[in-house]
Chain A
Amino acid sequence: MTTILELKGITKQFPGVLANDHVDFDLKKGEIHALLGENGAGKTTLMNILYGLYKPDSGELYRDGKEVSLNSPKDAIAIGIGMVHQHFMLIPVFTVTENIMLGEEKLKNAVLDRNGVSAKVGELSQKYGLEIDPESFVEDIPVGVQQRVEIVKTLYRKAEILILDEPTAVLTPQEVEDLFRIMRELTSQGVSIIFITHKLKEVLKIADRITVMRAGKVVGTAIPSETDESHLAAMMVGREVILNVEKEPAQPKEDVLQVIDLKVNDLRGLEAVRGVTFSVRAGEILGIAGVQGNGQTELVEALTGLRQSTGGKVVLQGKDMTNNPPRPIIENGLSHIPEDRQRHGLVLAYPVADNLVLCNYYLPPFGVNFVMQNKAIDENARKLVKDFDIRTPSPFVPTSNLSGGNQQKVIVARELSRPVQLLIANQPTRGLDVGSIEYIHRQIVNMRGKGVAVLLVSAELDEIMSLADRIAVMYQGKIVDIVDTQKTTKSELGLKMAGAQAQA
């Protein structure tokens, strides 16, 4: 296999951070080369240099052995590099065809040649096995299909090198499988892929070669058959990481949360939760598994008082809390780690210290007679920043300045530092790196040890399997089955998640 791309000694300095420190990287024709590293390791910076978005301070770039200099994405596209960004660069109100041709429009008599491009898109999608409908609007198609549109967009520009930046972060397990199939199809036809990720299992499954980055430097390269997860994790984090959560057997006690035949509508007024019944006991973790969009979001919103239910009952610590607003539910012992930390978990513009008292600012010692007690709030913040290892320059910087993992730690610190009886954690580790995931998992298990009832919702089956004591599988708004984690397997759960067994 010939080397088609080579980066040598790439260095990029940002104010206060050396994002890339003499990085070497190369890509061979038709291979999948994974670039593995934690958030902030410098993967994205390196790829932005390769895509012409940043200029390196020093270092060289070779395409087919010839040195090239990239000043804009246009230059990168011209030498056959295409990038699928983590946040898709698609315009929701445009059709698939319009999105693909944008910037490279084909004209016929000075008018956009939609039919011509549409036919070309059909051709490409057939050739590489990427099913898309050129006429549909991007906002109407699922995320997995949008990603295919992004891939076709690069192929339309004749890309031979494809950069996929965290492509699996937004996908369901089935969509990930689909993506891997597409990646193999592409490489078999001569396309080379740089696969950026921090997920170890995926790398081992799909990559031909793995390069690991940490703190702006390449720490090593490995071949999947000669390495394993714990070795890669140690390379990434720089120390031994405990991937499997160690926990004592559960000692469940009385019911803390009882949900009886609960029904909830979604935003469009359709019934998203269609009568679910379950209970969570003190000292156990109940996991809710399911492909996203099967009612989990609405269920959690109804339990936390963020959405009105249309039927059924929610009982927390023996008190009927059905359709109560959030505050009485919180005061009755709920803590909630929401699905979308930036939109629902934090006020990003507020300093860390204020975010840490969002639930109890009105109670002494933080609020006395309508007046905020800044001294108490500051003390609380300093203590929690230390206890929960939140990496921030000070407790008084806006929370938006923190990395995703540290933002999540702010929420965890706020929610777990109060006396609580029920913890509802919805996708608590989504988008986080290995180190942060390990930390948050440990915190959740600790809460269980203290006799808290935990309801864990996650789209990551691995996460559910390793943390939960019992697992409820949700499919189309119903709980299909509740099983003991010990007595089930991943494939059995996968089938239930896909609705294979409609009766409990």
Chain B
Amino acid sequence: MEIRRYTFIALIIIVLIGVVVVVGKSEVSPGVIIVSMIATTIAVATPLTLGALTGVFCERAGVVNIGIEGMMLASAFFGWFGAIYMNTILKMGAFPSLIIGVIIAVITGGLLGLLHAVLSVTFKVDQIIGGTVINLLAVGISGFLNRQLFFEKGSIFGGQVPHAPGVLPRLHIPLLGDIPVVGTVFEQQPITIAAILLVIITHYVLFYTRWGLRTRAVGEHPRAADTVGINVYRMRYLNVIIGGLIAGLAGAYFTLESVPSFEPLMTNGRGFIALAAMIFGNWSPFGSWAAALVFGAASALQINLQFFRELIPPQWAFFQSSAVVGMVPYILTMLIMTGIIGKTRAPAADGIPYEK
């Protein structure tokens, strides 16, 4: 079953990469295209991977989180604001400013996680409504503050967007990064590398530690956990907050690692695609990552096809339109969510508030 799922995922990725190779091979060697596609895939999958891990922590503990999108958006804004504030007002160096920005983003995510926990665990609000509240709140607050802080006359930045401190630098990994051609795959920025490490850590925590066993227990059968002395509310609170912290890191990716700017609504549905990746990955960290890579590959296809626009044969002209290629990730989401790849299984108590 699981083998089928991963084979299917690998197949889609190969097809997506293959398309770019076929189009671009007359100008660039296939090896270079493949390496570049893989590197881009891993990088652009980062917010999806992190968002999916957020979902894994929350839902394994029995709390549905559709507020990942909002958590990411708010964190992207506050992280970016923090970095600029440090850099422009406090005259801090670019790199320390970025680091503080990341920390602020992570804390923002954690606080929104706390809000979600208060709503869904303590007040037992319908968790879909709770998540929607967070999404709306994030859109409103980031849009409003963005206008007030940067574009209003008399604001702290004097009515214009100051020069941003740039983005987090690529890290050079010794040995792996030194391999010719293939080495570029490993030349990634810090949040991307953190995301991959978090996949491994989450898997380990969930399936090999006491914390993980108890987390899964409260997500499957909270009363059973309660009768053996596990504090269901505490476990759910902490896991939702951990999820929020990870969503905060995903938010930082948008404004501190990918591009050095903030746009209203810039997360552009990726919180929801992350949720789809989590479901497609059957609520497991590695499965979620693999699914995130599929969506990453679809985005990489879009990015790379732009370089080769002129090479697209005339009978495929509609592929030149970025609107068409840009749809690929969303069409893939819908296809995958129809369940063509067998059944997934949510934690049994997912979304159900626990009444003592």
Contact = CB atoms under 8 A, between A and B. Distances in A.
A269 interface: no
Given A89-B221, A93-B220, A103 B229 contact: yes
B209 A89 contact: no
Nearest to A78: B229
Contacts of A504: none
- Interface size, B (range): 10 to 19
B228 A103 contact: yes
Contact of A102 (B208, B213, B345): B213
Q: In this complex, which of B209, B221, B224 has the most chain A Cβ atoms within 10 angstroms of its Cβ?
A: B224
Nearest to A51: B227
Q: In this complex, which of B208, B209, B225, B227 has the most chain A Cβ atoms within 10 angstroms of its Cβ?
A: B227
Contacts of B210: 105, 107, 112
Contact of B220 (A92, A107, A110, A111): A92
B208 A74 contact: no
Interface string B199-226: 0000000001110011011001101111
Contacts of B209: 110-112
Given A73-B228, A110-B209, A102 B223 contact: no
Contacts of B225: 102-103
B229 A74 contact: yes
B129 to A, nearest CB: 20
Given A103-B228, A103-B229, A111-B208, A89 B213 contact: no
A98 interface: yes
A98 B214 CA distance: 10
A101 B208 CA distance: 13
- Interface size, A (range): 20 to 34
A94 B229 contact: no
B213 A85 contact: no
Contacts of B226: 73
B167 interface: no
B228 A91 contact: no
Contacts of A91: 216-217, 220-221, 224
A94 B217 CA distance: 9
Contacts of B230: 102-103
A257 B221 CA distance: 44
B352 interface: no
Given A102-B213, A107-B210, A112-B213, A73 B229 contact: yes
A102 B217 contact: yes
A72 interface: yes
B10 interface: no
A90 B221 contact: yes
A73 B227 contact: yes
A102 B220 contact: no
Contacts of A107: 210
Contacts of B224: 89-91, 102
A107 B208 CA distance: 10
Interface in B205-261: 208-210, 213-214, 216-217, 220-221, 223-230
A140 to B, nearest CB: 14
Nearest to A153: B228
B348 interface: yes
Nearest to B223: A89
Contact of B208 (A53, A73, A83, A112): A112
Interface of A: 53, 72-74, 77, 83, 85, 89-94, 98, 101-105, 107, 110-112, 153
Nearest first, the 5 A-B pairs at minimum CB distance are A103-B228, A89-B224, A74-B229, A105-B210, A91-B220
Interface of B: 208-210, 213-214, 216-217, 220-221, 223-230, 345, 348
30 contacts: A53-B227, A72-B229, A73-B226, A73-B227, A73-B228, A77-B228, A83-B227, A89-B228, A90-B221, A90-B224, A91-B216, A91-B224, A92-B220, A93-B216, A93-B345, A93-B348, A94-B213, A98-B213, A101-B213, A102-B213, A102-B214, A102-B217, A102-B224, A102-B225, A102-B228, A103-B228, A105-B210, A105-B213, A112-B210, A112-B213
